[in-house]
Every structure is written in C-alpha cells, then in structure tokens.
Amino acid sequence: MLPKWFNVWNRENPTNIFGPGILVGAVGGAVFLGILIITWGQPYATDSLQTGPRGTGMSVTEFKSDLATPDPDIASLMEDEPYIPDGSEPLAKDIYQNVQVLGDLTEDNFNRLMAAMTNWVSPDQGCAYCHGEGDLETYGDDALYTKVVSRRMIQMTQNINENWDGHVNANKQVGVTCMTCHRGQNVPSEIWFKITPVNEATAGWPSVQNRATSLSQFTSLPSDALEAYLLNYEQINVHDLESRVENQPGDPLIQQTERTYSLMNYFSNSLGKNCVLCHNSRAFYDTEQVTPQWGISSLGISMVQEMNNDYLVPLADVYPENRLGPVHGDAPKAACKTCHKGYQQPLQGSNVIQYWPELATTGAPVYE
C-alpha cells in the first residue's frame, strides 16, 4: 500500500507514462538489434565491384547474401576425367558409322562425351532423343533432326572455345559446353525469335515498340534490338549529343538510340549488372572511359552474331515446324541471356571445359 499523501498527489498531478515508456522501449530495442547485427552479421550487407576511377561512382553493388548463393545449376556439373590415350586404341570413326565430328576420339572418350551430352541435353529421353528407339546398328542414321542439329552444335561449341577465348575466358579458363546453355533441357531457355511488328495498329517505326514483350524486357522500348544488333550486324549507335542537328545520311537517329537502350536493358538483365559494369555513366558516349568489361562484351556481341548467322539460322530447314518461330517461322537464336542466365559469368565462372577437351578445339584434343 502506498501512503495516502502519495495517492492524493498522484491524483492531483496526473502524468503520461506511456511516452517515456515507449521511448525507453524503442531505444532498448535498437540497442538490442545493434548487438544482434554485430554478433551475427548484417543480413543485408553489400559488397561492390569497383569498375572505374575512384569518385566516379562506377561500382556494381551486390548483396553479400546473393554472392554467397550459388547458381543451382552448378550442382549438375559433371566431373568425369578423360581417358588418356596411348595411341593404340581404335578410333570412333573406325568403329561406328557416319561419325562426322569427334571421329578422331578413342572409343572410350567418344562414349564418355556422348553420355555427358545426354545428361546435358536429354536426361529424360536418353540416347533415343538423337538416335531413336532402334538398336545400335541404327545409331549411324540421320533420321532424326535432333542428331543433325546436335552435330552442328558440337561444331559451334568447338568454334566458341577455340576462336572466342577473349570473351569466354577473359577472366580465367572456363570454356563452354552444351551444359552452358541447355542445363538439362532439350531446348535452352532464353532463346529468341523475330516477333516484330508488335503493334498491328500502326506502321513504320511505331510498329516495333510500345508493346511489352520479352525481347524488350517488358518495356515499351523497341522489340527488334536483338534482331538488329545480334543478327543483322547493324551498328550500335545513339542520337547526336547536340540538339537540333541536321542529320546527314548515315547519322544515327533517335530510333537507333531507342533500340540501343533496348539492347542495353537486355544486357543488364542478362548479366544481372547495371550500366557501370561497362560504362562511365557520366559519359556513355566516350569510348576512352569504358571499363575492360566493355571490350569483353563487344567481343560477345560479335561472337553471338557469328553463332546466329553461321550456325543457328541455317538450321531453319532442318527443324520441324513446332521448333520454329511463331510469327516468322524462323530458327531459334541465341543471345547473352541464353548462356548467362542473369549472372555476370555463366554458371558463376565455373570451369566447365576442364573435363571435356574434346569440345575445346576443332583439332585433336589435348589430354593432360
């Protein structure tokens, strides 16, 4: 029991105790949270990759929790040491019929690679995906389009590893295999087809934009950027830096600027990075202020142009109708996201070629 005088004084002098109580609770909670962060670590801590000179803001920021999270497809990579040939083994071309590529491999290495390709491309269908349901005597037939396409894809993979080292292995030896794009699927994700015009109500330039499509990354930007720059070899340009400039024949127009924005937006989503990975954002136009990644990306553009024009587009007559584009009936094509899948390096820079020297060159593989 409190003294009578205290109760009387308290009744005559009421005080709001909730405000101080809330303040004390908030301060105490903040202190407790601070202790937890210091003890357990900051769950939203970031790390950054400096891409340009200090003070220019040229850095790519990422959450450390994301950096510590591996691409789930990495778990599917195969480790299978090749058989080192001694020179006395029979070759695949002398054992099997109609071996047009990889014929100079030993039988063991040939079958080892075939088994790996099955896991990379058709784990559910197995060998029958390319060779059909017949017995081994029918494996030399080219009855299925999948076998014809696979043969050409092997050649494309060898060409990439052999001739585009400056892009594929710019940072370290990683290489590419069928797994880089297919990831256990018959058809790789993030392939693309020509889809323009997308706005049937208009003609000319407006017909390729102002519709959210996957090729415009669901923006109103032009949907033909991949077609223009990764297939038709058009020059990537932006509009003149000055206003009210009288354009001369061949000068970049505002349409090229919009199309370039569309391509750059696609790049950013493909690699999971922003503009400053390659550019000084204060001077996009100045090629003297770009980063080394700009050069790597430029090689990648040329590589994809070659892939599409020399390897993928010519297969249009081989594919069945259901594998062709829904609008123009064109062959499926590749672009940055087909390999990168949202990461700066495919499979986060895993060395996928180390066990498969047969795919590293069009010549005789080097076994170590």
Q: 74-189+344-368 is classed in which CATH architecture? A: Orthogonal Bundle (1.10)
Binding residues for heme: 114, 127, 130-131, 153, 167, 178, 181-182, 264, 275, 278-279, 336, 339-340
Q: How far apart are CA 256 and CA 235, in angstroms?
A: 9
The three-state secondary structure class of 253 is coil
CATH class of the 194-340 domain in this structure:
mainly alpha
Does 21 score more than 90 pLDDT? no
287 Cβ neighbours under 8 A, 6+ residues apart: 294
H or E element, residue 59: strand 59-63
Q: What is the pLDDT of residues 73-125, one digit of tens each?
A: 999 998 999 999 998 899 999 999 999 999 999 999 999 999 999 999 999 99
* pLDDT at site 161: 97
Planar angle of CA 231, 237, 240, nearest 5 degrees: 160
Neighbours of 263 (CB within 10 A): 23
Q: Is the pLDDT assigned to residue 16 strictly greater than 70?
A: no
Vertex 199: Cα angle to 198 and 200 (nearest 5) = 110
Residue with token string 């937006």: 265
pLDDT of residue 341: 96
Q: What counts of helices (H) and strands (E) characterise the chain?
A: 13, 2
Report pLDDT digits (tens) over 344-364.
Answer: 999 999 999 999 999 999 988
SS3 state of residue 22: helix
User: Which residues participate in the annotated binding site?
Assistant: 114, 127, 130-131, 153, 167, 178, 181-182, 264, 275, 278-279, 336, 339-340
Q: For the segment 243-270, what is each residue's pLDDT rounded down to a tens digit?
A: 777 877 877 788 888 999 999 999 999 9
Task: Give the side-chain half-sphere CA count within 13 A for 237.
Answer: 13
Provide the pLDDT for residue 251: 76
Decide if pLDDT at 39 tops 70.
no
pLDDT at 42 over 70: no
Domain ranges for the chain: 74-189+344-368, 194-340
Q: Give the pLDDT confidence score for residue 245 in this predicted structure.
A: 79
Q: How far apart are the first and last CA of the chain?
A: 90
Same fold yes or no, 74-189+344-368 and 194-340? yes
